[in-house]
Amino acid sequence: MASLTERLVGAAKLDAATYEEVEADTTATPQAMLVVVLANIAAGFGAFRELGFGGLLVTTLIALIGWYVWAFVVYFVGTRFLPGPRTHADMGQLLRPLGFSAAPGLIRVLGIIPGLTGVVSFIGAVWMLVAMVVAVRQGLDYEGTGRAIGVCLIGFACYVVVAIVLATILNVTAGIVGS
């Protein structure tokens, strides 16, 4: 079994074997949750001037809720409406790889450097979406990437809606979608 650091690096490198490993490791769910939290905190450092400490806590809570909602939508859509011939998954088998797909978001800590916040946030968000496709492909045992992209787009749309609703309720306006 790989260490957390090795898994973070493998996930950031978009290594399919890393995503398969965390999918199969039923003890890796707390690690996946930690990755989601760390990626959000990394983004929060870059946006701390706008968010403050309270905003960072709220966006972390929203990120955790969003992670679960996204995993549920991916599970539901991927196993019920768009299953592949080998698709077999439970919620844990999606929560873990989807949590690790946030690993590229750790780069967003570089947003603390003045003038880089927007660029680093964009790069981190795109990189995380690509990692999400790999995570979904592996978690749902898809043979190709196209179906995983479709499931991710549906999951992302639901995540954005939930994030906006929660941000509105909790009165947070910055850094939500990229978290």
* Overall average pLDDT of the 97-109 stretch: 96
CA distance 83 to 145: 13
Nearest to 139 by CA among 102, 179, 91: 91
DSSP 104: G
DSSP 82: S
CA distance 56 to 47: 9
Answer yes or no: are the C-beta atoms of 132 and 32 closer than 8 Å.
Answer: no
> Residue 166: in which H helix or E strand, if any?
helix 146-170
Buried b (16+ CB within 10 A) or exposed e, 102-138: bbbbbbbbbbbeeeebeebbebbbebbeebbbbbbbb
pLDDT digits (tens, 9 = 90+) for 135-145: 999 999 999 99
Q: How many helices (H) and strands (E) does the chain have?
A: 7, 0
* Overall average pLDDT of the 19-38 stretch: 97
pTM, rounded to two decimals: 0.89
Say if residue 179's pLDDT is above 60: no
pLDDT digits (tens, 9 = 90+) for 68-81: 989 999 999 999 99
